[in-house]
Amino acid sequence: MPDQTFTVNGETVTVDAPDDLPLLWVLRDLLGIRGPKYGCGIDVCKACTSHLDGEAFNPCATPVAAVAGRSVTTIEGLADGDRLHPVQEAWLEQDVAQCGFCQPGQIMAAVALLKRTSEPTDAEIDEIANVCRCGTYVRIREAIKAAAARM
């Protein structure tokens, strides 16, 4: 099997995996990085949302070979040590999470949105397609706005 080399949360890693293996399983099963969640495997639920070179992407639908030499950030890499990212802080303030299973993906999607626009409109927030089966959308919207104000 070929070696795959890329960066995860600032560290360069090399794993032995077939080119077409979805990155989600390289992260979760081979590297033990289990913040990104499986919710569908086909780029629909967005539970696995992480960043590739700073932009939101879905590792469940990205073959590992496609990230060779690139930089992947998962929820584990968002905080700066013990200092949480402002979006995580906003999530705490609004007490967004219920079961929490979708929240790593929601937070990574929100961070990516705030990178694109510092003052997202309601319509832009509506475009975040991440499923929250517990129905925390109202608090997510508030948290994104609070984070935008803070950043």
End-to-end CA distance of the chain: 44
> Between 48 and 67, how does the x/- string for binding to another protein read (CB under 8 A)?
--------------------
Does residue 111 bind another protein (CB under 8 A)? no
> Between 47 and 86, how does the x/- string for binding to ligand FES read (CB under 6 A)?
xx---------x-x--------------------------
Residue 85, token pair as written in the block: 């990212």
Rounded CA gap, 124 and 144, in Å? 11
Nearer to ligand FES, 40 or 65 (CB): 40
Does residue 33 bind ligand FES (CB under 6 A)? no
Does residue 137 bind ligand FES (CB under 6 A)? no
Of 34-42, 68-76, 108-116, 119-127: span binding ligand FES (CB under 6 A) = 34-42
DSSP at 95: T
Judge contact between 66 and 52, C-beta under 8 A: no
CB-based burial label for 130 (10 Å; 0-12, 13-18, 19+)? buried
